[in-house]
């Protein structure tokens, strides 16, 4: 009977999560502000992900008044560097900076990269986005109004898995588009903090108040730590209902399992009861 009860409870919980997911996806965009503030997009790179060039190009095709793209690598020989420069050359209309710097501020390689990129970011609004993400032209127009809402200190996004190949890629898309997306939507609806590093918009001044990249570099789950720290300042962390695409490419079952084992360990540490 205990097992049956747990099964019924688990099924009901999953169904509730998917109700939250459907409601989040169906929400209309917020009204446009009178003036859109300028944004610096920080794109830390390491290696040539599947579809890297096409992914990066989507960030040069945004329908937004003023923004800057900043690429960063820690090694001059990184194959992502030539790809980033090639895309930037095709779009001289978009201000772009490329940073090659191997200095470290902690043991998180992504944060080390971001720390070296930050000094060349021109604007107060910072958008951190991974290299394997693709977005639509209205991405910033839909994201920024959430941050302009009084009391909001960070905006993250729902994640949609696309382009997975092989059995591992198919399993990854199923996992991202059901359990993960529904979980992020549910946490947001329940007023809890959930920050996803593939799409995080925040203010430079708030990043400084929580200790900057030096503080985040102490953790592997820097995105969630950043969200919780922003919340600790008295700000809300909200999830935009417009998903960004996590472009997957070929994955083996071993790679799929390894990735979600790592995520499960992080979830167990962050929210042991929910885990």
The 10s digit of each residue's pLDDT in 56-110 is 999 999 999 999 999 999 999 999 999 999 999 999 999 999 999 999 999 899 9
Q: Give the sheet arrangement for strand 200-203, strand by strand.
A: 96-100, 67-73, 39-44, 125-128, 200-203, 152-165, 236-250, 133-134
Res 275: pLDDT: 59
Res 64: pLDDT: 97
274 has pLDDT over 90: no
Res 250: pLDDT: 87
Residue 137's contacts (CB-CB under 8 Å, 6 or more residues apart) are 61, 62, 63
146 has pLDDT over 80: yes
Res 272: pLDDT: 67
Res 257: pLDDT: 82
- Distance, in Å, from the CA atom of 191 to the CA atom of 151, rounded to the nearest integer, reads 13
Q: How much helix, strand and coil, in percent to the nearest 5, is found in the chain?
A: 45, 20, 30
Output the CA–CA distances (angstroms, integers) from residue 222 to 8, 15, 219, in the order listed. Answer: 35, 30, 5
| Mean pLDDT, residues 178-200 taken together | 79
Q: Which residue has the tokens 């970011």?
A: 121
Res 180: pLDDT: 81
pLDDT per position as a tens digit, 196-234: 889 999 999 999 999 999 999 998 889 999 999 999 999
Tell me which residue of 45, 68, 62 sits closest to 121, measured CA to CA. 68
Of the pLDDT bands very low, low, confident and very high (cuts 50, 70, 90), residue 251 is confident
| Mean pLDDT, residues 136-159 taken together | 94
pLDDT per position as a tens digit, 6-51: 555 555 555 545 444 455 444 566 778 889 999 999 999 998 887 8
| DSSP output for 125-137 | EEEE--TTEE--T
Backbone angles phi, psi at 252, to 5 degrees: -85, 165
Res 271: pLDDT: 61
Res 18: pLDDT: 47
Tell me which residue of 222, 234, 226 sits closest to 210, measured CA to CA. 226
Give catalytic residue positions: 223
Specify the higher pLDDT residue, 100 or 193.
100
172 has pLDDT over 70: yes
Mean pLDDT, all residues of the chain: 86
Tell me which residue of 185, 182, 194, 186 sits closest to 237, measured CA to CA. 194
């Amino acid at each position: 009977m205990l097992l049956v009860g747990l099964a019924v409870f688990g099924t009901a919980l999953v169904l509730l999560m998917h109700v939250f997911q459907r409601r989040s996806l169906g929400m209309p965009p917020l009204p446009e502000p009178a003036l859109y503030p300028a944004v610096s997009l920080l794109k830390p790179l390491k290696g040539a992900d599947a579809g890297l060039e096409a992914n990066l190009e989507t960030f040069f095709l945004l329908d937004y008044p003023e923004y800057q793209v900043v690429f960063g690598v820690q090694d001059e020989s990184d194959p992502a560097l030539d790809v980033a420069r090639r895309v930037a050359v095709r779009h001289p209309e978009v201000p772009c900076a490329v940073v090659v710097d191997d200095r470290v501020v902690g043991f998180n390689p992504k944060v080390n990269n971001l720390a070296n990129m930050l000094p060349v970011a021109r604007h107060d609004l910072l958008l951190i986005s991974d290299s394997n993400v693709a977005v639509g032209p209205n991405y910033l127009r839909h994201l920024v109004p959430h941050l302009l809402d009084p009391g909001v200190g960070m905006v993250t996004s729902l994640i949609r898995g696309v382009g997975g190949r092989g059995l591992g890629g198919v399993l990854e898309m199923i996992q991202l588009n059901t359990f993960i997306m529904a979980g992020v939507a549910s946490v947001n609806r329940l007023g809890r903090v959930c920050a996803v590093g593939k799409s995080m918009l925040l203010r430079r001044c708030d990043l400084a108040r929580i200790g900057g990249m030096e503080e985040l570099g102490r953790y592997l789950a820097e995105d969630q730590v950043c969200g919780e720290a922003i919340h600790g300042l008295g700000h809300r962390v909200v999830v935009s209902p417009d998903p960004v695409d996590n472009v997957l490419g070929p994955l083996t079952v071993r790679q799929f399992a390894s990735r979600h084992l790592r995520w499960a360990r992080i979830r167990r540490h962050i929210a042991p009861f929910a885990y």
